[in-house]
Amino acid sequence: MKHFRKGDGERSGLFTRRALLLGGAQAVLLTALAGRLYQLQVIETQRFATLAEENRINLRLLPPSRGLIFDRTGQPLAVNRNNFRAMATSDRGRGADVLVERLDQIVGLGETEKNRLLRELRRSRNAQPVVVRENLGWEEVARLEFNAPDLPGVFIDLGQSRDYPEGELMSHLVGYTGRVSDEDLAGRDDPVLQLATMRFGKKGVERSLEDDLRGRAGAVQVEVNAVGRVVRELDRTEGQPGSNALLTIDLDLQRFVAERIKDHQSGSVVVMDVVTGDVIAMVSTPGFDPSTFARGITQAEWRDLLDNPERPLHNKAIAGVYPPGSTYKMVTALAALESKAIDPYTRLPCTGFLELGNIKFHCWMKGGHGSTNVTEAIAASCDCFFYEAARRAGIDRISDMAQRLGFGRVSELGLPGESAANQPSRAWKQEKLGKPWQHGDTFNLGIGQGYMTATPLQLAIMTARIANGGYEVQPNLLLAKATPREELAPPPPRIRPTAPSLRLNPQHLQLIRQGMTDVVNSGHGTANHLRQRDPAFVFAGKTGTAQVKRITERERDMGITQASLPWHLRHHALFVCYGPVENPRYACAVIIEHGMAGGATAGPIGRDVLVETIKRDPSRRTDGFRKMASR
Amino acid sequence: MTFAPMSGVALDAPAPVGFAEKIWRINWGLVLVLTAIAGVGVLALYSAAGGRFEPWAARHAVRYGSALMLMLVVAMVHPRIWLALAWPIYVLSLLLLIAVDVIGKIGMGAQRWLVVGPMQIQPSEIAKVAVILVLARYYHGLRKEQASQFLYTLPPLLVILAVVGLVMVQPDLGTAMMVLMGGGALLFVAGVRIWMFLAAGVAAVACLPVAWSFMHEYQRKRVLTFLDPDRDPLGAGYHITQSKIAIGSGGLFGKGFLKGTQSSLNFLPEKQTDFIFTTFVEEWGMAGACVLLALFSLVLIWGFAIAFRSHHHFGRLLALGVTAMMFLYVFINTAMVMGLLPVVGVPLPLVSNGGTALVSVMFACGLLIGVNVYRDAQLPRTR
């Protein structure tokens, strides 16, 4: 036993020494743990406390509901519809792949959608949800809810999407909304635009009134868990819905106009109130179906729209540019009169052409009009008269008059995409073409050809300014706007223009208007087939035919006529008009692309639209109109 | 090796210990401390479940109760029995480890469980205890000179590495580390030469690239994340970052019972198992953490005291092995959740939810107390 004890004692001694060493090491390590605790919980506790709060509290924006758009009679043009959509948040992109795969199995996403979703999930900050799928049906909602345990971070959200009850009819005017793009964000720091569900006006009024329609975001402070699910709400600030808007458009008239021009492949009509500038109707055909944008347009649909030669996405009323042709003759006449190049009694001869050097400028009437004064020249649309009048007035005066009447500039309508078209001048030609202005250019400009282009809206503005007695009226599309808490009502009717005067000589204006009246109402007028018997509907107008391809002398001898040309080479048919003649209230401009002859194609449309406009509007009656109606 | 001759001085031999004496010799203070720690576990699990006994806290209490019974039974078993059973238990644990590697059920990305009837057992937990038993038995039978010889160090090395290898395959880096370090501690106190440890250290460093190539992608990620937590703060570093936020925001006295925000909102991964310390500390602060660590320190001190008081080498080594295992559990787990070690999946003993670890720890504590109960038993030095 002694031996045993001794050996064991030796072992025991070594064991004790080493065990104490081990125990000491353990003590040191445990002290290190305590030190770490001290570091985390005392020294750095403030920092971690802040981090913990940030982890936990999440500020979520509540998208405001978008303002509604109505026509002037209160019929809805753009409304919001309930939209069940699947949203997903990921834990800062973690598990996104798995989540997207599962979603694909459950609702079927497809490759492009999967990629978009993955990208957005990874990019999403502060666990902001991203949209998986919009406009879910009940079956899809049920399937998603049923599979909820396998889909952490996915939830169904009741949002709103835009609906356009009038579809194609109002497509160009109302436009559509789309996801917020980087360009949309430029200069706007509204945080609500960062929301994935937010939509931004892309075209039409949706775009021009974007900042009114959008409203202000509310915010809700929520406590979230790690996968972004809301545990409870801490604080809520209600947002403000967007303002509702009444447009100046009369939907019924708009429908009438669209119906009236639907037989023509491509054209546009603008109807304006000459006193207030209200655009009562504006149609451009063909249009497009805005719901394809609301639900998300496909690549193929987009291609189709872009490749269509009739350019359905293009609002031709404001963006289509055409040589105004004879409808421009009022400008030439006013410029010549104002510059005293001609006077009311000046008569100019027409032999069917005018020679400048060795170039012949033809009048549309082969034999010539003989001698005409300014009124007769407008009524008969004598080209020779206006070649000479333009020559006498000079480019500078014509250009100046045209600009006062609204050509060569973008109006104050505010719709995106409006073109300024082109009002040529000496400086313009020198700058653009590097050539000095020629006399021949002035001749061409005198009859609205050559470098001159205009939009249908500009033609309507010009007509309105002549009709209202020379006031610089601006087209206007917004009748009234109001927040949902305020009453949305049209302003009281006005009977006198509030726009500044263009300081045109009333006597000159009277001559021009007489000429336009005679176009429709006198025997030598170019559109006397449009004459109205009913005094309430008597109107004035001016035809125009804009050359697309010049038919040469030789071709004419070969019997080539407009009708025998392919569609895209035929002349454009133009017509501007206003009425009632006694107390003008409405101006209308019609362009039928490649419609060949203004008086024959565009004229009847202008007449029908104008008569319909006068007929159907009790609230906008002028004193004169009332007088006539009671007669 | 033979028995030491039983001479006339057999009076040295203690009188046989009676049953009452055995009961008396149970370290009831230690039992109290263990129960206190398990109580902390119930509290933390109750809070982790959002203030509910289900699903973890109640089961934890019940499990602890049964494990306590087991511990007391184990404590009453004579060390002679353990001496005899050491190798069979070890071999069984090896077989189970192989079984789990082959037919193991997939859980948490690692194959760790075997399903036996209604129970899930984790062979690696059994292996931990088995290694301690075998090593204690082995060195019990060696003389001091033998213990210090290189040749005699090879068998225990094999014992350790076999388990480490099988556990690594699962893969369970935490348990492998524990077995390696726990076994190393036993070799150290058993008298293996210091130079061998140095050599092993050098070899380990040399083997690092090889180990790296054997590691799973997620393990590499964890190591890299540990070395540089900012590498991927939202990915692999997320656990550590969130855990540090929860602990740090607890401050000196914590947010109060049931008032923790990070763990209750699921920012914490595995809040009821590996990260239970975080859950507890967020609510009880540094004060609570220090109390918990102090309780564990008491267990360790008790362990050392029992080891020193044992008259036989087997008891000494067994007690120290259990103590080392306990220390490694506590240290690896807490250091891990505080961002001092890579996340390796080691539970906090008696606190974390989970049955197998609880049973194996209590079993080990039973062995520890058994050493005290039979501290003066005479054990043959068999090979």
- As given in the structure block, the two tokens for residue B297 are 């320190």
Residue B4 has pLDDT above 50, yes or no: no
Tell me which range, A41-55, A464-478, B249-263, is most confidently predicted by mean pLDDT: A464-478
**Does the residue A597 lie in any domain?**
yes
B13 confidence band (pLDDT: 50, 70, 90): low
Q: Which residues on B lie below 8 Å from A43 (Cβ)? A: none
Q: Is A172 exposed, middle or buried (0-12, 13-18, 19+ CB in 10 A)?
A: buried
Q: Taking residues A416-443, what's their average pLDDT?
A: 92
Angle between helices B79-103 and B313-337 (to 10 degrees): 40
Q: Does A24 touch chain B (CB under 8 A)?
A: no
The answer to whether the CB of B79 falls within 8 A of the CB of B381 is no
Contact A11 B262 (CB under 8 A): no
B290 confidence band (pLDDT: 50, 70, 90): very high
A241 with A256, same domain: the answer is no
Confirm whether A411 is a catalytic residue: no
Q: Which residues on A lie below 8 Å from B286 (Cβ)? A: 37-38, 41-42
Q: Taking residues A152-177, what's their average pLDDT?
A: 87
In the prediction, which pLDDT does B371 show?
Answer: 94
In the prediction, which pLDDT does A229 show?
Answer: 65
Residue A624 has pLDDT above 50, yes or no: no
B226 confidence band (pLDDT: 50, 70, 90): low
In the prediction, which pLDDT does B3 show?
Answer: 45
Weakest mean pLDDT among A23-27, A202-206, A296-300, B27-31:
A296-300
Contact A26 B320 (CB under 8 A): no
- As given in the structure block, the two tokens for residue A67 are 């303002």
In the prediction, which pLDDT does A437 show?
Answer: 92
Angle between helices A329-338 and A383-393 (to 10 degrees): 40
Closest CB from B144, B265, B289 relative to A7 = B144
Q: Which residues on B lie below 8 Å from A121 (Cβ)? A: none
Angstrom CA distances, A316 to A173, B158, B261, stand at: 11, 89, 61
d(CA A552, CA A355): 17
Task: Quote the percentage of chain B above a pLDDT of 90.
Answer: 46
- Our CA-based measurement puts residue A158 at a distance from the nearest CA of chain B, in whole angstroms, of 25
| Closest chain A residue by Cα to residue B245 | A48
Closest CB from B10, B293, B338 relative to A30 = B293
- Our CA-based measurement puts residue B112 at a distance from the nearest CA of chain A, in whole angstroms, of 24
Contact B235 A223 (CB under 8 A): no
In the prediction, which pLDDT does A621 show?
Answer: 45
A270 with A218, same domain: the answer is no
Count of alpha carbons within 13 angstroms of residue A244, beta-carbon side: 20
Closest of A565, A550, A463, A559 to residue A515, by C-alpha:
A463
Residue A423, Cβ neighbours under 10 Å: how many?
25
The answer to whether the CB of A220 falls within 8 A of the CB of A60 is yes
- Our CA-based measurement puts residue A112 at a distance from the nearest CA of chain B, in whole angstroms, of 26
**Does the residue A415 lie in any domain?**
yes
- Please give, one letter per residue, the 3-state secondary structure of B65-115: HHHHHHHHHHHHCCHHHHHHHHHHHHHHHHHHHHHHHHHCEEECCEEEEEE
Pairwise pLDDT comparison (B10 vs B337), residue with the higher score:
B337
Contact A47 B338 (CB under 8 A): no
Contact A227 B266 (CB under 8 A): yes
A523 with A412, same domain: the answer is yes
The amino acid occupying position A455 is T
Q: Taking residues B99-112, what's their average pLDDT?
A: 61
Weakest mean pLDDT among B43-57, B153-167, B208-222, B279-293:
B208-222
Q: Does A119 touch chain B (CB under 8 A)?
A: no
Q: Domain spans of chain B?
A: 17-373
Q: Is B112 exposed, middle or buried (0-12, 13-18, 19+ CB in 10 A)?
A: buried
- As given in the structure block, the two tokens for residue A511 are 């001559």
Weakest mean pLDDT among A357-371, A379-393, B58-72, B301-315:
A357-371
B354 confidence band (pLDDT: 50, 70, 90): confident
Contact B338 A32 (CB under 8 A): no
Residue B155, Cβ neighbours under 10 Å: how many?
12
| Closest chain A residue by Cα to residue B380 | A4
Indicate the SS3 state at residue B383: coil
- Which run of H or E residues covers position A256? helix A251-261
d(CA A492, CA A298): 45
Closest CB from B247, B304, B340 relative to A23 = B304
In the prediction, which pLDDT does A533 show?
Answer: 87
Residue B205 has pLDDT above 90, yes or no: no
d(CA A31, CA A27): 6
Per DSSP, helices labelled H in chain B are: 19-25, 28-48, 57-76, 79-103, 123-140, 144-147, 150-169, 173-190, 194-214, 217-227, 238-250, 276-309, 313-337, 355-373
In the prediction, which pLDDT does B377 show?
Answer: 87
The answer to whether the CB of B277 falls within 8 A of the CB of B296 is no
Domain residues for the domain of A79 are 58-171+214-247
Place of tokens 């009708």: A563
| Closest chain A residue by Cα to residue B265 | A225
Q: Taking residues B294-315, what's their average pLDDT?
A: 94
- pLDDT tens digits, one per residue of B243-277: 888 898 888 998 888 887 776 666 666 777 888 99
Contact A7 B143 (CB under 8 A): yes
Angstrom CA distances, B90 to A22, B137, B179, stand at: 25, 11, 13
Place of tokens 């057992």: B121
The amino acid occupying position A285 is T
Contact B235 A94 (CB under 8 A): yes
CATH label of the domain that carries residue A105: 3.90.1310.10
Pairwise pLDDT comparison (A258 vs A105), residue with the higher score:
A258
Angstrom CA distances, A319 to A65, A174, A284, A455, A564, stand at: 31, 15, 10, 6, 28
A127 confidence band (pLDDT: 50, 70, 90): low
Contact B316 A12 (CB under 8 A): yes
A227 with A362, same domain: the answer is no
- Our CA-based measurement puts residue B101 at a distance from the nearest CA of chain A, in whole angstroms, of 27
Q: Which residues on B lie below 8 Å from A227 (Cβ)? A: 266
The answer to whether the CB of B124 falls within 8 A of the CB of B172 is yes
Identify the DSSP state of A281. E
In the prediction, which pLDDT does A126 show?
Answer: 53
Strand-pair category, A478-482 with A359-362: unpaired
Q: Which residues on A lie below 8 Å from B300 (Cβ)? A: 23, 26
**Does the residue A277 lie in any domain?**
yes
A342 with A222, same domain: the answer is no
Pairwise pLDDT comparison (B315 vs B207), residue with the higher score:
B315
A114 with A236, same domain: the answer is yes
Length of chain A: 631
Strand partners, A156: A86
d(CA B197, CA B185): 10
Chain pair A-B, CB pairs under 8 angstroms: 148
Q: Taking residues A74-82, what's their average pLDDT?
A: 90
d(CA B313, CA A469): 121
Residue A631 has pLDDT above 50, yes or no: no
Q: Which residues on A lie below 8 Å from B327 (Cβ)? A: 26, 29
Domain endpoint, select from A229, A247, A265: A247
Q: Taking residues A284-309, what's their average pLDDT?
A: 83
Closest of A186, A215, A221 to residue A198, by C-alpha:
A215
Q: Which residues on A lie below 8 Å from B325 (Cβ)? A: none
Closest of A509, A552, A545, A547 to residue A526, by C-alpha:
A545
Q: Taking residues B13-24, what's their average pLDDT?
A: 78
Q: Taking residues A358-372, what's their average pLDDT?
A: 87
Residue B108 has pLDDT above 70, yes or no: no
| Closest chain A residue by Cα to residue B303 | A23
Angle, vertex CA A569, rays to CA A563 and CA A571, nearest 5: 65
In the prediction, which pLDDT does B15 show?
Answer: 63
The mean of the pLDDT values for chain A is: 85
Residues 6+ apart with CB under 8 A from A108: none
d(CA A387, CA A406): 22
In the prediction, which pLDDT does B14 show?
Answer: 59
Strand-pair category, A359-362 with B110-116: unpaired
| Closest chain B residue by Cα to residue A92 | B234
Q: Which residues on B lie below 8 Å from A56 (Cβ)? A: 261-262, 265, 267
A512 confidence band (pLDDT: 50, 70, 90): very high
The amino acid occupying position A515 is G
Residue A2 has pLDDT above 50, yes or no: no
Q: Phi-psi bin for A470: left (phi > 0), alpha (psi -120 to 50), beta?
A: left
Contact B245 A48 (CB under 8 A): yes
Contact A41 B335 (CB under 8 A): no
Closest CB from A8, A19, A51 relative to B245 = A51
A528 confidence band (pLDDT: 50, 70, 90): confident
The answer to whether the CB of B288 falls within 8 A of the CB of B276 is no
Query: Which entry of A208, A243, A326, A399 is annotated as an active-site residue?
Result: A326
**Does the residue A19 lie in any domain?**
no
Tell me which range, A353-357, B296-300, B309-313, is most confidently predicted by mean pLDDT: B296-300
Task: Quote the percentage of chain B above a pLDDT of 70.
Answer: 85
- Our CA-based measurement puts residue A37 at a distance from the nearest CA of chain B, in whole angstroms, of 6
A240 with A268, same domain: the answer is no
Closest CB from A7, A26, A34 relative to B300 = A26
Residue A629 has pLDDT above 50, yes or no: no
The mean of the pLDDT values for chain B is: 84
d(CA A445, CA A332): 8
In the prediction, which pLDDT does A301 show?
Answer: 82
Q: Which residues on A lie below 8 Å from B5 (Cβ)? A: 1, 3
Mutate to test the interface with B, among A41, A92, A123, A232 (most CBs of B within 10 A): A41
Q: Taking residues A69-84, what's their average pLDDT?
A: 90
Residue A392 has pLDDT above 70, yes or no: yes
In the prediction, which pLDDT does A182 show?
Answer: 79
Q: Does A30 touch chain B (CB under 8 A)?
A: yes
- Our CA-based measurement puts residue B145 at a distance from the nearest CA of chain A, in whole angstroms, of 9
d(CA B168, CA B163): 8
Residue A1 has pLDDT above 50, yes or no: no
A409 with A552, same domain: the answer is yes
| Helix and strand totals (H; E) in chain A | 24, 18
B357 confidence band (pLDDT: 50, 70, 90): confident
Angle between helices A439-446 and A329-338 (to 10 degrees): 120
Strand partners, A70: A76, A246
In the prediction, which pLDDT does A627 show?
Answer: 35
Q: Which of residues 67-106 of A touch B (CB under 8 A)?
A: 91-94
Q: Which of residues 223-242 of A touch B (CB under 8 A)?
A: 223-227, 231
B230 confidence band (pLDDT: 50, 70, 90): low
A272 with A130, same domain: the answer is no
Residue B305 has pLDDT above 90, yes or no: yes
Closest of A619, A525, A616, A534 to residue A582, by C-alpha:
A534
A240 with A267, same domain: the answer is no
- As given in the structure block, the two tokens for residue B331 are 């240290």
d(CA A173, CA A287): 10
Residue B175 has pLDDT above 70, yes or no: yes
Contact A51 B293 (CB under 8 A): no
Closest CB from A16, A48, A231 relative to B248 = A48
**Does the residue A156 lie in any domain?**
yes
Pairwise pLDDT comparison (B228 vs A159), residue with the higher score:
A159
| Closest chain B residue by Cα to residue A14 | B191
The answer to whether the CB of B242 falls within 8 A of the CB of B256 is no
Identify the DSSP state of B230. G
Contact B335 A8 (CB under 8 A): no
A319 with A234, same domain: the answer is no
The answer to whether the CB of A571 falls within 8 A of the CB of A548 is yes
A263 with A160, same domain: the answer is no
| Closest chain B residue by Cα to residue A20 | B304
Contact A33 B331 (CB under 8 A): yes
In the prediction, which pLDDT does A622 show?
Answer: 40
Q: Which residues on B lie below 8 Å from A223 (Cβ)? A: 265
- As given in the structure block, the two tokens for residue A492 are 């009281």
Weakest mean pLDDT among A119-123, A175-179, A307-311, B177-181:
A119-123
Pairwise pLDDT comparison (A564 vs B329), residue with the higher score:
B329
Contact B6 A1 (CB under 8 A): yes
Count of domains observed in chain A: 2
Contact B338 A22 (CB under 8 A): no
CATH label of the domain that carries residue A468: 3.40.710.10
